[in-house]
Structure 1
Amino acid sequence: MNVQELVITWATPAFFALIALELLVARWQRRPAYRLNDAINSLGLGVMSQIAGVFGKLLTIGIYAWCARHLALLRLPADSVWVWLFALLAYDFCYYWLHRAGHEVNVLWAAHVVHHQSERYNLTTALRQTSSGALLGWLFYLPLALLGVPVEVFAVVALIDLLYQFWVHTEVVGRLGWFDRVFCSPSNHRAHHAVNDRYLDRNYGGILIVWDRLFGTFVEEDDADPPVYGTRSPLRSWNPLWANLEVYWATAKDMWHARRWRDKLLVWIKPPGWRPADVAARFPKPEFDIGRAIYDPPIPRALSVYCLGQFVLLLAMSVHFLGVATGAPLATALAYGAYLVAALWVLGALMEGRRWAAWVEALRVLGTALVPALAGRWFAVAHLAPAYAVAIPAVFGASALALLWLAWRPAAPVGAGQVAG
């Protein structure tokens, strides 16, 4: 497990403690901050991002390390405080331009859009991250490698920048005076996530908001125009795979339908929402409606509780995955990651009320119960300890029984699966 994975793993309890605190404060403020289905979807996308990160280290760290070793113009010492301060400032500057490009270049938006899809704004939104950002994002940090920032310094300041941004994803913290003028703050970042005309594509700073003030992308939150969250082409799904693929797929379709070769390229590098005139005419899309209803398909409350329980189990498995994946054979790590992603996909379908999802989920939990019971092993664990050899089949066997009970019980009124109303 590398430094980033280790810190994220140990920071996870703190994240959930802060989420619980935010939930309590939101209830006290009578603010509808959370919905269970949305929170599970956001956290599940964060899990997928961590899984993808295990296999994307070659792009995120490997290429940087090679460039720092072979192409650096300087050799900066890793034991200098000034190097660390410079690296953090320079990283935040590069992050500003990556973040800005993620809103101005469609192929980069296709990765970044995941972070903006939630129609709620809370601390789980902070953990809602892309699984494909490593494909091109590394390009924006190469200047640090060329300037000689050591790879270990780069890895740590990247983590600091990332962890800082967790707390700004909340509505329960108001304006902070002078702090809002210098740093990325909850108020500044609420404006960034909004789809209102006045806020669109503003406030890109990670730690410092001064970059936005310098380059003309700053906007102040206005109480007379409360932020409306989400994207202008709403996802309207709890499918984590589709969340990561929707813009890539829409862009690929526009590229296919475009008549001019020039337009087939431009659909990827133009700003999000741009479409060739001939494609827009033949395949029109509905106009953006800022007053649209929030996506919230109703399901029985008992099924919401089941999904929450299974998601908690998947979180525990994900922590285990991060602990063993780097030392496991590649095939085993891929299989374990695929199992977790498939489980999150099925949970999303259950929360959408898909009828087929109950059958697929039944196969998943039965398989999860039977394999450890019969084989005495689990992914990357050749011999399960007796306690786990009993606990895993028991828990997932009980899950299968609960699912059967949900399928056969008399119909009950459906609820919205809300955590906070």
Structure 2
Amino acid sequence: MLNPIVYAAPVFILMIGLEFAWGRWRGQTIYRAADTVSSLAAGITSQLIEVFSKTFTVGIYTLAWQQLALLPLRMDALWVWLLALLLYDLCYYWYHRLGHEVALLWAAHAVHHSSEEYNLSTALRQTGTGFLFSWIFYLPLAVLGVPPLVFGAVALIDLLYQFWVHTRLVGRLGWFDRVFVSPSNHRVHHGQNAYCLDRNYGGILILWDRLFGSFVEERADEPIVYGVLGQLRRWNPLSANLHVYAERWRDMRMTARWRDKLALWFRHPGWRPADLERLAPKPVPDLRQFHRYAPPLPAGLPVYGLVHLFIQLGLGVLFLALAPGLALSTALPLALGLAAGLVLLTQLLEDPQARRAGEMLRLIVSALACAWLLQAAPSAALQALWATGVAVFALSVPLLGVLLRRPLTAGAVQ
């Protein structure tokens, strides 16, 4: 079965392009090239990991359904689909809520909040490690008897719905805001402001937040500051996915009592034991002094990163389309190669001179890979595609050299 993301990816990119154009028409800058590269790189990485993790999560759900289902729910009954979607959204609410209230789960979810922008590309900044625990929250559906195919379909519907609410360009929507998750409701969820923290967790229905006391309305008189408390200050998806795990591991080693070492993973992410607070106090961010992460870059380099990110995106979508027919021994090295390419590209936008050699290596390896695929391509169209790839990667080597000789500019479009 072809991955639905193969079909959805072009729609996502089209919608991002339309939002960018709409923002420019309204005189608003809602995209920065480097941040968009970071968000899409995290999204591609998430999908690469899901190729392999889906066997684990779907397998557990199917096994639970086969062994524990209480009711023989039929796939051809519309009410089963509607009930499954409603219950999935309720399970998602609690998974999402605990993803903010339990440090171990926050470690997986934090990547989605790490962007300091709020636009449709932010919706694609998804976790690569969420599969480790997310399956637990959906087992009640398996026990109830929701068939795996129905479960997979409603999960996709819930996920796709959440894409459009990641925008600053849609204002308040009246009655819709009171029932459904909307851009206004979800902007609050992504804010660092005190009133925004740990609020508005719903996937499709905001009614869950109203029912369980986690709802708050967006305030017109207080601009929202997006991102995580304590800036990530990285573009690459590896850091975005692992930085909270690394921080917790460091804190666990520093604190003395074993009870506190365990509590660091299972209490609220903001909780710290007294001895750790003395040894390594964590300052409270002053949002009045907040400056978005924007390392100085040579003019043109962020656009270079964006162009190559879209090439990586195309390769990633191609991999997702081919993955069901690939042996693990082939799929795993390809996925690792694509992920490494994303890390190298995004690191270039963090520190161009230090990462220059890594980017040169990425370009050379990519050109050689395209040349090899050119020889093996079974059709004229694919031969033209891989020949274009050879040319693009080969010409990018001297172009990169030209760009990196330009002076660093703090005001470069990022």
Normalised by the shorter chain, which TM-score bucket? over 0.9
Partner of 1:139: 136
Alpha-carbon distance, 1:69 to partner: 0.9
Of 181, 188, 202 in structure 1, the residue corresponding to residue 199 of structure 2 is 202
Partner of 2:20: 23
Indicate how the Cα distance of structure 1 residues 403 and 116 shifts in structure 2: closer, same or farther if over 3 A, else same: same
Amino acid at match of 1:303: L
Alpha-carbon distance, 1:348 to partner: 1.4
Partner of 1:390: 387
Partner of 1:369: 367
Which secondary structure state, in structure 1, belongs to the residue aligned with residue 287 of structure 2?
Answer: coil
Paired with 1:375 and 1:42, the residues of 2 have a C-alpha distance of 28
Alpha-carbon distance, 1:413 to partner: 5.9
After superposition, the C-alpha distances for 1:272-310 in whole angstroms (9 at most, x for unaligned) are 121111111111222222132110112112222221221
After superposition, the C-alpha distances for 1:127-161 in whole angstroms (9 at most, x for unaligned) are 11000000001100000000000000000000000
> Contact 2:41–2:236 at 8 Å: present in 1 too?
no
Q: 5+ residue gaps in structure 2?
A: none
After superposition, the C-alpha distances for 1:228-251 in whole angstroms (9 at most, x for unaligned) are 111112101112101100000111
Of 290, 313, 317 in structure 2, the residue corresponding to residue 315 of structure 1 is 313
Give runs of ≥4 in structure 1 deviating > 4 Å.
Answer: 374-378, 381-385
Partner of 1:264: 261
Q: Which moved more, 1:44-53 or 1:285-294?
A: 285-294
Amino acid at match of 2:113: H
Structure 1 residue 276 corresponds to structure 2 residue 273: yes
Structure 1 residue 59 corresponds to structure 2 residue 56: yes
Paired with 1:68 and 1:289, the residues of 2 have a C-alpha distance of 49
Structure 1 residue 97 corresponds to structure 2 residue 94: yes
Paired with 1:124 and 1:193, the residues of 2 have a C-alpha distance of 14
Structure 1 residue 42 corresponds to structure 2 residue 39: yes
Q: How many residues align?
A: 412
Of 356, 363, 370 in structure 1, the residue corresponding to residue 354 of structure 2 is 356
> Contact 2:298–2:403 at 8 Å: present in 1 too?
no
Amino acid at match of 2:317: V
Paired with 1:87 and 1:377, the residues of 2 have a C-alpha distance of 48
Of 153, 160, 163 in structure 1, the residue corresponding to residue 160 of structure 2 is 163
Indicate how the Cα distance of structure 1 residues 382 and 107 shifts in structure 2: closer, same or farther if over 3 A, else same: farther
Identity score, percent: 51
TM-score, with normalisation over the residues of structure 2?
0.95
Which secondary structure state, in structure 2, belongs to the residue aligned with residue 56 of structure 1?
Answer: helix
Which secondary structure state, in structure 2, belongs to the residue aligned with residue 304 of structure 1?
Answer: helix
Amino acid at match of 1:352: E
Of 322, 326, 329 in structure 1, the residue corresponding to residue 327 of structure 2 is 329
Indicate how the Cα distance of structure 1 residues 246 and 330 shifts in structure 2: closer, same or farther if over 3 A, else same: same
TM-score, with normalisation over the residues of structure 1?
0.94
Structure 1 residue 418 corresponds to structure 2 residue 413: yes
Alpha-carbon distance, 1:352 to partner: 1.1
Q: Which moved more, 1:348-357 or 1:170-179?
A: 348-357
Of 219, 237, 243 in structure 2, the residue corresponding to residue 222 of structure 1 is 219
Of 278, 287, 304 in structure 2, the residue corresponding to residue 306 of structure 1 is 304
Q: CA RMSD in A?
A: 1.8
Amino acid at match of 2:367: A
Which secondary structure state, in structure 1, belongs to the residue aligned with residue 196 of structure 2?
Answer: coil
Alpha-carbon distance, 1:321 to partner: 0.9
Alpha-carbon distance, 1:266 to partner: 0.4
After superposition, the C-alpha distances for 1:216-267 in whole angstroms (9 at most, x for unaligned) are 0000011012211111121011121011000001111111122111111100
Q: Which moved more, 1:181-190 or 1:18-27?
A: 18-27
Of 333, 342, 345 in structure 2, the residue corresponding to residue 344 of structure 1 is 342
> Contact 2:297–2:352 at 8 Å: present in 1 too?
no
Structure 1 residue 118 corresponds to structure 2 residue 120: no
Amino acid at match of 1:305: V
> Contact 1:188–1:221 at 8 Å: present in 2 too?
yes
After superposition, the C-alpha distances for 1:35-70 in whole angstroms (9 at most, x for unaligned) are 111111011100011011111012321110111111
